Structure 1
Amino acid sequence: MTASIRERNQVVERTLVLDDEELAAIRRPYLDQLEEEPDGPDRWRCAVGPFDHYVRTLDVEPGEADGGRRRVTERIEFALAIPIWGVLFRWIVARTMLRRDATVATDPEAMAEAPWWSPPDRLDARASRMVARLCTLSMITGYLGTVITQTITFAADQFDASKSAQGTTLAAARSGVLLSLMLMVIADRRGRQRLMVVCAVGGILAAGAGALSPNLAFLGTTQFLSRSFSTALTLLIAVVAAEEMPKGARAYAASVIAMTGALGAGGAVLLLPVADLDPNGWRIIYLAPLLAMPFFVRIASRVPESRRFVRPHARVTMAGHRGRLALLGASTFFGVLFLAPASQFQNDFLRDDHGFTALGITIFTICTNTPAGIGIVVGGRLADVRGRRVVGAIGTFGGALLLASAYHVSGPWLWLAWVCGSIVAAMTVPALAVYGPELFPTALRGRANGIITLTGVVGGAIGLSVAGRLGDHYGSLGPGLTMLAAGPMVVAILVLTLYPETAHMELEELNPEDAAFTTSSVSL
C-alpha cells in the first residue's frame, strides 16, 4: 500500500492491491466516524458526519495485478466542519482515513472502536460546528472565572487585606450567580443565542473595570458583575451542548468544552508573572480580555439557536422536578464546599506557606493542572461508553482526598499530590456536569441549572469563609480544607446511591414531557 496526505487541499490518497472480496468490501459505504452514501459509480459522499465537504472515489485499474489481485487507488477530498480548531484535527483525521480497514469500517458496529480522540457517537456537521464554537466561547468563561482566583493574593497585598477579607471578597464575587439565575430564566423563555452575546460582552467589560479598583470591595463588586455574566455564559454553553449533541456524545462535548475552558484559565495563569513587575501589575490581567472581545462576540453571534429550543416543547413548572433539583443542588453544594477554597486559596497557600513567586505559581499551576486533561479525556470517554456514576464517584472521592493532602505536604510530594489530585478530580467534569442539562426538560433547563449553580455558590461561599477563618486561626489552610473535604465524600455517596444512569439515553427519554409534547405536535 502507498499513501499520501495533501493537507493544504485536504486530500487523502492511498493505493491498494486487493482481491475480489476486499474490493467488494471497500466498495461498501463506510460507517465509522461518518456515514457514507453512494453518489455514483465508485463514488460516495458523506450522509452524516463532521464534514462540510466529503467525496470518496475509487479508481480500479483494469486487468489483474499480482496473483489475481487488482490495483485500486482510493481518493478522499474532505473539509472538516470544525471552525477554529479544525487545524488540530485535520492531520489526525487524514491519518485515520489512511489506516481504514474496509472490512471493519463498513461494519455497523465499527463505532464501538472509535478512536480515543473522537466521540463514541457520530456527530453531524451542525453538531461539529456547534461544539467547536462552544469550545471557543468556553475559553473566555475559563479566563473570567479564574482571574480573581489568580490575582486575589496580589490585590490583597496592595490593599493590606487579611485572609478573611479575601474569603469574603471571593464569596461576594461568586454571589453574582443571583443575576446569572435571572439571565437563565430569560434564556428559557426567549432563547439561548442572543444571551450568549450579551453575557460575553458584559463579562469582559465588568472584568476590565476591575483594573480600576481602589480597594478590595470595588474589585469584589466588579467581579460580582463579571462572574454573573460569565457564569450565565458557562451555563448556556452547557445547555446548548446537551441540546445539540447525540445521546452518545454529551459527555464527550462536556469534556472538550472543559478542556478549552481550562485553556482559557491558563491564559490568566500565563499572565500572572506581570503581577511581580509592579504592585499594580495584577491589574493588567483584568484588562487583557478587552483585546479579545470582538473575536468572542463574533463567535457567539455565529452560534445558532439550539434545535431543541426551536422545536415545540412543553411549558412545564418545577412541580415534579423538585426531587432531581434537590439531589443535584445538594451534590453541588457539598462538592463546591471543598473545591472553591481548595482552588481559590491555592495561590495564597503557595505564596505564603512555600514562598512561591508569581512566576513560580505560574509554573506550578501549568505543570500540575495541565495533566488534568488526561482525567477529562478519560472521564468523558468512560462516561459516554461505560456510564456516569462510577466515574463521577471515583473522581469526586479520590480527587478530594488527594487535593486535601496537598495542603499538608511540601517539596516533591506537593507537586505529586496536586498532579494526581487534578487528574482524578477532572474525571468528574464530563461525568457529572452533564446531569444538570440532562435531567430537566427544555423549558426548565436553564432555570434549573441556574438554581443548581446557586446552591454551589452558597456552598462555595461557606467553604471560602470557613477556610479563610480557619486559616487565620490555625495559621495554615491545611486543617480547614481537610475538614471541608467531607463534602465531596457526601457527593460520592449521593452519586452511587441516588443518581440515575443517563448514558445512551436521549433527552426526551429522560424528560418525557418534551417527548409527549413533540409527538402530539407532530400528530396535530
Structure 2
Amino acid sequence: MPGPPGRPARRRVMAGARAPWAIMRAVPRVHQTVVVDVATAEDMLGPRTDLLDERPWAPGDDDGWDRDDPDLGWGDGWERTATFALARGPMSSYRRDVAARPAPDGRVEVDEVTRFRSALGFWGAWVALPVARALRRTTGRTRPRSPFWAPPDALDARSGTVLGLLLTLALVAGYLGTVMTQTITFAADEFGRGTTAQGGALAAVRIGTLGSLVLVALADRRGRRRLLLGSLVAAILATVAGAFAPSLEVLGVTQTLARGFTTAVTLLLAIVAAEEMPKGTRAYAISVMTMTGALGAGMAIWALPLADVGDGGWRILYLLPVLGLPVVARVRRTLPESLRFVRPHRSATVLRGHAGRLAAIGGAMFCASAFGAPSSQLLNDFLRDERGFSAARISLFTILTSTPAGLALVAGGRLADTRGRRHVVAVGVAGGALLASWGFTAHGWPLWAANLGGTMLGALAVPALGAYGPELFPTAARGKANGILQLLSVAGSALGLVVAGVAKDRWGQLSDGIFLLLPLGLLVAVLALTVFPETARRELEDINPEDDVVVGPDGVPTPAPPRPPAGSPPPGLP
C-alpha cells in the first residue's frame, strides 16, 4: 500500500545480495523502488548535489558496467529514465540509473540503482553503510548539504584517495607513538630498573622531537611524500630494534630515534592533508586522522597482554610494527606528491613576514601543552594516590571518560570548517581547562562528569588548533614552521610536568599545580579570539599570498596579480 502523502512508500530496498554486509563489497549496489510525490520524483530524476555532485551520463563514461543491466527489471510502462555519472565526490567510479512511471494513486513509482566504488580504499568499507543510507535518501538531494558525518566540502576522487592513504599511515604512526609508554614498566622490570630510570628514559625520548624539526624542514625542499614514507619506515625499523635492546638505556636510544621519525610523520600527515583537501575540509581531515591515530594507539593497548607471556614478552610489541612495512610499500605505489608542493611556488629560506603568526600559534601550543600534559599524563597517579582508585577502576574511568572524545573530535573538525576556527579553539580549550581543573578537586560522580566534559571540550579544539599550523605558513616554509611549533609544544609539556610535580611535592595535592597552570590554558582562548586569523573555508593561497604565483618565460615563479574581491564581476563587465 502506498504511504501517506509526502512520504515515500518503499516496495523493495536491496543492497548487493540483499545482505547489509554486501554493501562493503568492492562494488556496492544500492537498489530501491519507492512511491513518491511528483516533486520528489522530479528531484530523483535529476542530478543530485548533496553527498556528491552528479552530471548526466555521457558515452565516454563507460567503465564496464552494462547500461542495460537486466537486473534493473525495466520493462514496458517505465515512461522516463535517466543515468548519471559522478561530477565530484570521493568515488573512484560511480553510476546511478533511475526510471519512473505513474502510480495508481496519482503519485510516481521510481526504481533506482546506484553503484559506486569508494576512493577511500580500505577505509571506504567503514563508511559504506552510512554512504548507502545517504544514497537511498529521497528528499533533499538538490541541497548542497552533506550528512553530519561527511566532510563539509565534498571530496573528489584524488582527495578521497589521498585521505584514505593518510588514514592508513596515521594508524601505523599511532601505534609507534604509544608502544614505549605502554611497555616501559615491563622493560624496567626485566632490566631491574626502578621508577626513576623509567622517568629518565621517557624524558630522554622527548629529545627525538629535535630530529623531527630537521626532517620536516627537509620536506620543504625534497618533497612531502619522500620524507613521509622514509620517516615512517625509519620509525618502524628503530622500533623493531628496540625488541633486541640489552638494557633500558639502549631501548631509550632506539625509542628516541623512533620518536623523532614518528613525530615527523605526524607533522607531515597534517601538512599533506592541508595541501590536498578542499578548503572546507582541512580540519575535518585532521580530526579523522587523529581518530585513526588513536585507533593505532589502542592497538598497542590491545596487544599489551602479550607482555605477560614471560619476562621478555614486552619485546613482542616492538616486533609487531614490522607488519607495517608491507603497508607502507602498498601506500607508496599510490600516494602522490602533495599538490601544493608540485605546483610552482616561491622559495623561502626563512619565515620572513610570518613571525607574528609563528609567535601567536607557537605561544598557544606552548600554553595548551603546559596545561594539557600534566592534566592527562598525571591523571592516573592522581586517581590512584589521591582518590584511591584501583587499576581496574582507573581503566574503567579512562574508557568511560575518554571514548566519547572520538565523537567530539569529528564534531570539532566539522565545526571548525563550517563555523570557524577561532571560536572552536577558544571554547574547547578554555572550557576543557576549567572542567579538567574542577575534576582534580571533585569526588564521586562530579569527578567522572568533570573529566568527561573536559575531555570532550578539549577534543573539540584539537582539529582547529592542528589545522592552524599547516595553514598559516607558505609552502616553502610550512614544514620548518610546523617543526618549530612542535618544539614549542614539547617545551610547554616539559614545563607543565615540572611545575605540577613540584607543586604536588610541596603542597601535597596535584590540584595545586593544575590551578597554577590554569591561566595558561585560558590564555589560549584569549589568543584565539584576539590574535588568530580566521582560516576556515579559505584557500591556502589566500591565506599565504606569496604562494599565489605565475611562472614567467624564464621559469621563475613571480607573484600573481591581486585577486578581485569575492563576488566581483569578471573583467570587462560593469
Alignment TM-score > 0.5, same fold: yes
Q: Of 315, 319, 322, which aligns to 2:347?
A: 315
- Residue 402 of structure 1, CA deviation: 2.7
Change (3 A) 1:89 1:28: same
Q: Of 72, 77, 85, which aligns to 1:45?
A: 85
CA distance in 2, matches of 1:351, 1:203: 33
- Residue 514 of structure 1, CA deviation: 0.8
Question: Which residue in the other structure is 2:127 paired with?
Answer: 89
Q: Of 129, 135, 138, which aligns to 1:100?
A: 138
Deviations 1:115-151 (CA, angstroms, capped at 9, x unpaired): 1110111110111111111112112222222333334
Deviations 1:457-495 (CA, angstroms, capped at 9, x unpaired): 122222233334444445554432332333212211111
- 2:43–2:141 Cα contact (<8 Å) kept: no
- Residue 100 of structure 1, CA deviation: 2.8
Equivalent residue runs for 1:473-512 within 5 Å: 473-474=506-507, 476-512=509-545
Question: Which residue in the other structure is 1:123 paired with?
Answer: 155
CA distance in 2, matches of 1:426, 1:468: 24
| 5+ long unaligned stretches in structure 1 | none
- 452-461 or 416-425, larger mean C-alpha shift: 416-425
- Residue 433 of structure 1, CA deviation: 0.7
Question: Which residue in the other structure is 1:343 paired with?
Answer: 376
Deviations 1:395-421 (CA, angstroms, capped at 9, x unpaired): 111222333344444554443333222
State the AA in 2 paired with 1:30.
R
Q: Of 73, 77, 87, which aligns to 2:115?
A: 77
Question: Which residue in the other structure is 1:208 paired with?
Answer: 240
State the AA in 1 paired with 2:531.
L
State the AA in 2 paired with 1:53.
S
Q: Of 11, 14, 17, which aligns to 1:4?
A: 14
- 154-163 or 3-12, larger mean C-alpha shift: 154-163
Deviations 1:153-210 (CA, angstroms, capped at 9, x unpaired): 55556654346x5554333212211110111111110111122221112212222333
Change (3 A) 1:427 1:415: same
- 146-155 or 230-239, larger mean C-alpha shift: 146-155
Question: Which residue in the other structure is 1:401 paired with?
Answer: 434
SS class of match (2:534) = coil
Question: Which residue in the other structure is 2:570 paired with?
Answer: none
Equivalent residue runs for 1:6-405 within 5 Å: 6=16, 7=23, 8=25, 9-17=27-35, 21-39=39-57, 42-61=82-101, 64-101=102-139, 104-106=140-142, 110-111=143-144, 113-153=145-185, 155=187, 159-162=192-195, 166-213=198-245, 215-274=247-306, 280-316=312-348, 317-350=350-383, 361-405=394-438
CA distance in 1, matches of 2:375, 2:313: 25
RMSD: 2.8
CA distance in 2, matches of 1:265, 1:196: 19
Larger RCO (alpha carbons 8 Å, 6+ apart): 1
CA distance in 1, matches of 2:247, 2:328: 29
CA distance in 1, matches of 2:138, 2:113: 13
State the AA in 2 paired with 1:465.
V
CA distance in 2, matches of 1:10, 1:274: 38
Answering whether residue 492 of structure 2 is matched by residue 459 of structure 1, we say yes
- 371-380 or 200-209, larger mean C-alpha shift: 200-209
CA distance in 1, matches of 2:319, 2:266: 20
State the AA in 1 paired with 2:55.
E
- 1:12–1:94 Cα contact (<8 Å) kept: yes
- Percent identity among equivalent residues? 49
- 2:373–2:493 Cα contact (<8 Å) kept: yes
CA distance in 2, matches of 1:306, 1:92: 29
**Based on CA coordinates, which of the two structures has the bigger radius of gyration?**
2
Q: Of 424, 444, 449, which aligns to 2:477?
A: 444
- 1:138–1:257 Cα contact (<8 Å) kept: yes
The normalised TM-score by structure 1 is 0.90
- Residue 32 of structure 1, CA deviation: 1.2
- 2:286–2:463 Cα contact (<8 Å) kept: yes
- 1:170–1:461 Cα contact (<8 Å) kept: no
State the AA in 2 paired with 1:288.
L
State the AA in 2 paired with 1:366.
I
- 36-45 or 167-176, larger mean C-alpha shift: 167-176
Question: Which residue in the other structure is 1:418 paired with?
Answer: 451
Matched positions, count: 515
The normalised TM-score by structure 2 is 0.82
- 1:150–1:347 Cα contact (<8 Å) kept: no
| 5+ long unaligned stretches in structure 2 | 1-9, 17-22, 59-80, 562-574
- 1:193–1:301 Cα contact (<8 Å) kept: no
SS class of match (1:466) = helix
Change (3 A) 1:444 1:336: same
Change (3 A) 1:172 1:485: farther
